[in-house]
Structure 1
Amino acid sequence: MLAEGFTNMSRAAWRALSTAADTAAAAAAAARLSGSRWEKLKNGKAGVWCRSLLSDYKEACREMVVGAQERPLKASMYAAMLGGGWFCFYSKPGQSEFKAALVECSNQLGLLSPWIRSATSDAHVQNLVKLQSQGRLRCLSLGLLSLVYSVDYDSDATLYEAQCSSLAVPWRKLPHRVLDIGFCWCWWVLESKMKDYDVNKEEFKHLPADMQGTSPPDLHGVQRNERMHRQSWLPLSVGDQNK
């Protein structure tokens, strides 16, 4: 029985050693296989192209840093231009901002009497509102700024003239149809038309020329007006009129 137990223990030890050897061999084969795949991928066309691309970018970045150190003024100018371009692109208003500005200007004019509104502001805003209600306003993004222009027909119109591309307005006529320019969070034409929107110049056209325009008062005039305003609040001094 002792010999038989020794034989069984020998067989179990041999099986364990065989299993460990097979496992180690499989792991080594998998490692060789993965290593060969990685080497094949790294030395292939895609790997060579990626390494050359990274090398080019690395060399370009190094030259850029060296050039900035050698010519700081030029580098600062380029950085300022890039920053300004990014700011213009970020602050460029779009079609939704134009609609909101148009609604705000229309509400401001609607709070005024027709006798007080500026004819220039009212005509410009009413024209834009009419074109928008007809679906004839378009907004074009040019990267650093936006353009609002008018077209002849609504995009949803089913007329032949509206759907035929050969009858569309050519690009050379676009400058004549531009209605506003959006730049730095502002629509410049709309803002200029709304200047003094609560002043109707037609009311003063019958006045003499020297009374149609006013100039801001100087320092002495402002001080005199303030002094007269303070004196108007003082109680009146009534003298002895019986003497």
Structure 2
Amino acid sequence: MASLRVVRRMFCAAADTVAAPAPSSRWERLKKSKAGVWCRGLASDYKEACKEIFVGAWERPVKASAYLSLLGGAWACLYTKPDQSSFEAALLDCSGQLGLLSPWIRNATSDGHVQSLVKLQNDGRLRHISLGLLSLVYRADYNPDVTLYEAQCSNLSVPWRELPERILDVGFVGHWWILDSKMKDYDVNEGEFKHLPAHMQATSPPSVQEVEKSERLHKESWLALTMEDEEKDTNVVDRKQESVSEDSPVEALKQEQTQA
């Protein structure tokens, strides 16, 4: 009986080994694992989301165009956002432009604003912060390298509610707008015209007719004189000389009568 049991077990084991499937590959085991199932589900969700986006854009083109315009504008603002080095370069450029002018010609507003920024930069009190689509430059109370307790203590730092009062410039779409506005007419000293009457302090731009007349006269001034114009000029000169010669005897008689 025992031998029969052993033989039966041997035949059952052989049958199980034949019926058992071949071991799956590593890729199949990875797909059937928890991580593989989660990745497949995630890919399926993204596929359905992209399909819904394209179907919605086809059904509502105006709304899709508005969303694309907003995304494109946000990307352009993010790509052209100025940084701290660009502000330093712009400040150096403005300072150089003002340095080429005489103090009597500089605009007081432009000169004062640039000089204050240069002083803060030399003191190390200019700070730059990026807010995604735009950049801000503001002033701080101390240089970060100063070892004073007031400068190093975080509890005594500038609160966020005071940041709008300390903003010095706003960088957006590749420009520093406050610096550009302050540098407008930087070579015009308004103090030179404060003693003039009110109607002479402000000048209105010329009209189209005045501009056309000035351009026409300027072009005519470069034209060569013709022979007819030269003859007219010589005739006028001769007539003036003849009139002077005819009047000369009469003037001599008048002088003699006055002397007598």
**Which interval holds the TM-score relative to the shorter structure?**
0.7 to 0.9
Counterpart of 1:127, as a letter, is S
CA distance in 1 between counterparts of 2:115 and 2:31 reads 67
Do residues 141 (structure 1) and 130 (structure 2) align?
Answer: yes
Q: Could you state the TM-score of these two structures normalised by the residue count of structure 2?
A: 0.77
CA RMSD of aligned residues (A): 1.7
Counterpart of 1:63 in structure 2 is: 52
3-state SS of the aligned residue for 2:38? Answer: helix
CA distance in 1 between counterparts of 2:39 and 2:216 reads 81
3-state SS of the aligned residue for 1:166? Answer: helix
Q: What CA deviation, in whole Å up to 9, does each residue of 1:181-227 have, x standing for no partner? A: 00111000000000000000000000001111111111222233334
Counterpart of 2:193, as a letter, is F
Do residues 183 (structure 1) and 172 (structure 2) align?
Answer: yes
Runs (5+) with no aligned partner, structure 1? 1-31
Q: What CA deviation, in whole Å up to 9, does each residue of 1:221-242 have, x standing for no partner? A: 2233334445666779462222
3-state SS of the aligned residue for 2:170? Answer: strand
3-state SS of the aligned residue for 1:206? Answer: coil
Counterpart of 2:185, as a letter, is D
Counterpart of 1:242 in structure 2 is: 241
| Cα gap change, 1:231 to 1:36, in 2 (>3 Å) | closer
Runs (5+) with no aligned partner, structure 2? 1-21, 243-260
The counterpart of 2:207, out of the listed 209, 218, 223, is 218
Do residues 158 (structure 1) and 147 (structure 2) align?
Answer: yes
Do residues 49 (structure 1) and 38 (structure 2) align?
Answer: yes
The counterpart of 1:72, out of the listed 51, 57, 61, is 61
CA distance in 2 between counterparts of 1:151 and 1:113 reads 32
The counterpart of 1:131, out of the listed 88, 108, 120, is 120
Counterpart of 2:77 in structure 1 is: 88
3-state SS of the aligned residue for 2:89? Answer: helix
Q: Could you state the TM-score of these two structures normalised by the residue count of structure 1?
A: 0.82
The counterpart of 2:158, out of the listed 169, 175, 178, is 169
Counterpart of 2:138, as a letter, is Y
| Cα gap change, 1:40 to 1:229, in 2 (>3 Å) | closer
| Cα gap change, 1:40 to 1:223, in 2 (>3 Å) | closer
CA distance in 2 between counterparts of 1:92 and 1:68 reads 30
CA distance in 2 between counterparts of 1:36 and 1:222 reads 86
The counterpart of 1:114, out of the listed 94, 103, 110, is 103
CA distance in 2 between counterparts of 1:223 and 1:144 reads 45
**1:36 Cα deviation after fit:** 4.0
CA distance in 2 between counterparts of 1:194 and 1:81 reads 31
**1:113 Cα deviation after fit:** 0.2
3-state SS of the aligned residue for 1:109? Answer: helix
Counterpart of 2:88 in structure 1 is: 99
CA distance in 2 between counterparts of 1:166 and 1:90 reads 35
In our comparison, the structure showing a higher alpha carbon Rg is 2
Counterpart of 1:23 in structure 2 is: none
Q: What CA deviation, in whole Å up to 9, does each residue of 1:38-94 have, x standing for no partner? A: 322211110011000000000000001110111111111101100000000001000
Moved more, 216-225 or 87-96: 216-225
Q: Percent identity?
A: 65
